């Protein structure tokens, strides 16, 4: 009986060890299905100001006047990790477009290691409170979510779930052709 109580106590203690809240974030995240949304120019809302500290410790502010791709992600998210090479390739394919990551519900140390290992070619903001500013247009409703802003800083489209080259290219080209 004493062994059973000791084993139970040890299991309880070990189950309390975690990843600084990452497990609760993992349990509560909603995976997207890759659905693409597009907003007609007349119906768009302005994106929030996107600035702050990046994972690599620099201050960043998204410049105005060009199309931007905003990716909301976390390093523990399998679809986020899987789509990173696609986003990196798209950033190279479209150098005139600004790419920006926004880290959500993650440990910045783990995310920084992921970014450095994969040599991500664009910055990632660590303060996800900027996402509140998308609530009146196309909020980040899944992890990952990718938002596309037009050259006027208006929210023009969203991909809920992992992007593909085809889905992101189609959305970017549609917005570029306006």
CA 46, CA 136: separation in Å to the nearest integer? 9
Closest CA to 49 of 153, 156, 175: 153
Q: How confident is the model at residue 13 (pLDDT cuts 50, 70, 90)?
A: very low
Assess contact for 150 and 178: CB atoms under 8 A: yes
Q: Is the pTM of this model over 0.85?
A: no
The pLDDT of residue 30: 53
Hey, where are the domains in the chain?
A: 20-176
The pLDDT of residue 4: 39
pLDDT mean across residues, the chain: 85
Q: How confident is the model at residue 29 (pLDDT cuts 50, 70, 90)?
A: very low
Residue 123 tokens read as: 């910055």
Cβ-in-10-Å burial (0-12, 13-18, 19+) of 8 comes to exposed
Give CA separation, 42 vs 67, 77, 156, 158, in Å: 17, 34, 10, 16
User: Would the pLDDT of 2 be above 80?
Assistant: no
65-99 tens-digit pLDDT: 999 999 999 999 999 999 999 999 999 999 999 99
User: Would the pLDDT of 40 be above 60?
Assistant: yes
Its CATH class, for the domain covering 20-176, is: alpha beta
CA 141 to chain centre: 11
User: Would the pLDDT of 25 be above 70?
Assistant: no
Residue 60 tokens read as: 């960043």
């Amino acid at each position: 009986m004493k062994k059973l109580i000791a084993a139970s106590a040890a299991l309880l203690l070990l189950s309390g060890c975690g990843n600084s809240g990452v497990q609760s974030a993992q349990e509560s995240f909603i995976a997207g299905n890759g659905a693409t949304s597009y907003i007609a120019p007349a119906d768009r809302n302005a994106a929030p100001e996107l600035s702050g500290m990046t994972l690599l410790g620099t201050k960043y502010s998204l410049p105005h006047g060009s199309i931007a791709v905003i990716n909301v992600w976390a390093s523990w998210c399998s679809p986020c990790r899987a789509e990173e090479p696609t986003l990196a390739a798209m950033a190279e394919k479209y150098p005139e477009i600004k790419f920006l990551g926004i880290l959500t519900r993650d440990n910045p140390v783990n995310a920084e290691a992921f970014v450095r290992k994969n040599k991500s070619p664009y910055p990632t903001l660590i303060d996800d409170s900027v996402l509140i500013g998308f609530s009146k247009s196309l909020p980040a409703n899944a992890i990952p979510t990718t938002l596309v802003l037009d050259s006027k800083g208006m929210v023009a489209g969203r991909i809920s779930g992992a992007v593909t080259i085809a889905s992101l290219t189609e959305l970017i080209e549609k917005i570029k052709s306006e």
